[in-house]
Structure 1
Amino acid sequence: MPLASTALPLGTVAPNFALLDTVSDKIVSLQDVASNRATVIMFLCNHCPYVQHILSELVQVANEYQQKGVRFVGISANDATSSPQDGPQQMRELAREKNFPFPYLYDQTQQVARTYQAVCTPEFYVFDRNMRLAYHGKFDDAQPKSNVPVTGHGLRQALDALLAGQAVVADQKPGIGCGIKWKTPQEAVD
C-alpha cells in the first residue's frame, strides 16, 4: 500500500546531517552537497518498486541538472535488519551499477529521515540557494504498472523555476511510494 509524503512547510531551512556515503565510505554533510543554485535531497531505497520505476530517469535528471549547478544527494533510511536489500553494501552495489552521479548516504539511526519528516520512497526535497525548502513532492506522475511515462516533470519544473529565479509552483503533489521501514522502538535504542 503506497504512502504519501507529509508536507514539510515550504521555507523550512534544510536540517543538517552528516551520514556515511556508501560508495566512498566517507562522511558527507549537508555543507558538502549544498549548492548556491539548488540542492535536491532525495529519500530513496533499493527495493521499492516506486524508486526502481524512476531510477534510470532520475540518474539522467541528476546528470543534466548538475551541469547547471544543482547538487543532488540520495539518502536511504530503511532498517537494514528488516530490509537487508537496503543495507549499505547493497546500496553501494546499486549506486555503482546505475552510475549514481550523487552520494548515496545511509541514515542508520533514521534520525535524518525523522528530522525531514520523510515517510516514503521516493521523496524529493528541493532547497533554494539559501537552503530554504522550495519544493517537496514527487518526481512525476508515473507509477509502477501505469502507462504514464517517467519524465521527472515535477522535479524538473521545480528546478527550472529556481534556476530562472522564479517562484516554484505552490501546488505541489506529495511523493508517493513505499513507506520507510522504521526500526522498532527497542532497535532504535540499542
Structure 2
Amino acid sequence: MARTPSQMIDLGTEAPNFSLPDVVSGKNVSLDDFPDAKGFMIAFICNHCPFVQLIRHEFARYGREYTGKGIAVIAINSNDIVAHPEDGPDAMRDEARRFGYAFPYCLDEDQSVAKAYQAACTPDLYLFDANRKLFYRGQFDDARPGSDAPVTGADLRAASDALLAGRPAPEPQKASLGCNIKWKPGNEPAYYG
C-alpha cells in the first residue's frame, strides 16, 4: 500500500458541486440536496484500504452524530472498480449496511469528483462551512494501521465542533494519510505523485 498524504488545498476553497449515485438509495446526491446544512463533510473513502478499515466504525459513528447536528456527511469512492472490484457498487452497498453508514456512499466512477477536490488518498477528508468554503482538510485522528493510537476521530470532531460553534478552524491541521486513490490507467491527475 502506498502511504499517500492529502493535498492540503487552501482553506476557503469553494466546494465543487457534483451529482453522484448513492449506492444504497440508488438516488443521485449533490450538495444542493442539503440547503439547510450547517456544514458539509466530504470524505473520499473505499472498502479495501486498511487506513479506511481502521476508522470505519468510528467514522460511521461520527456520521450519525454530526448529521444530527446539521452537518451533511457524504462519502465518495473514486477508485478504479475494474482494477479493484472489491470497491464496486455491490460491495460498497454491503459495506454501508454492515458498518451503519447513515450517510450517502457515492460512486465517482469517472473519477471527476476526486479530481475536482484534488483528492489523493483514502481517507481524504474535507469539511466545508455552510457557505461551502473549506474549513478543515486533514486527518481523522492520529491512528494509523500498526500504530497504538486509538481511533477517536479527535481531529475531525474538534474541527466540526469549532465550525458548529462559530470558532476559527483548529491549527495546525495535519494531512490525512492513506492509500492512494486507485486511478484508472492514464487518468492520473497532474497534481498526483
Match of 1:151 in 2: 152
Aligned length: 187
CA contact (8 A) 1:122 1:175 kept: yes
The unaligned stretches of length 5 or more in structure 2 are 188-193
- The CA distance in 2 between the partners of 1:78 and 1:128, in whole Å, is 26
Match of 2:22 in 1: 21
Amino acid at match of 2:74: V
2:161 counterpart of 1:160: yes
2:1 counterpart of 1:12: no
**How high is the sequence identity, in percent, across the aligned residues?**
48
CA contact (8 A) 1:22 1:106 kept: yes
- The CA distance in 1 between the partners of 2:142 and 2:26, in whole Å, is 34
Q: Secondary structure at the match of 2:106?
A: strand
Deviation at 1:37, TM superposition (A): 1.2
The unaligned stretches of length 5 or more in structure 1 are none
CA contact (8 A) 2:37 2:72 kept: no
Q: Does the C-alpha gap of structure 1 residues 127 and 35 become closer, same or farther in structure 2, counting only changes over 3 Å?
A: farther
Q: TM-score, normalised by structure 2?
A: 0.93
Instruction: Give CA-to-partner distance per residue, 1:120-142, whole Å, 9 cap, x none.
Output: 00011000111100000110000
- The CA distance in 2 between the partners of 1:99 and 1:60, in whole Å, is 8
Instruction: Give CA-to-partner distance per residue, 1:1-29, whole Å, 9 cap, x none.
Output: 31001121110110010001100111111
- The CA distance in 2 between the partners of 1:67 and 1:75, in whole Å, is 20
Match of 1:128 in 2: 129
Q: TM-score, normalised by structure 1?
A: 0.95
Q: Does the C-alpha gap of structure 1 residues 35 and 74 become closer, same or farther in structure 2, counting only changes over 3 Å?
A: farther
Amino acid at match of 1:61: Y
Q: Does the C-alpha gap of structure 1 residues 4 and 34 become closer, same or farther in structure 2, counting only changes over 3 Å?
A: farther
Moved over 3 A (4+): 33-36
Deviation at 1:62, TM superposition (A): 1.2
- The CA distance in 2 between the partners of 1:114 and 1:167, in whole Å, is 27
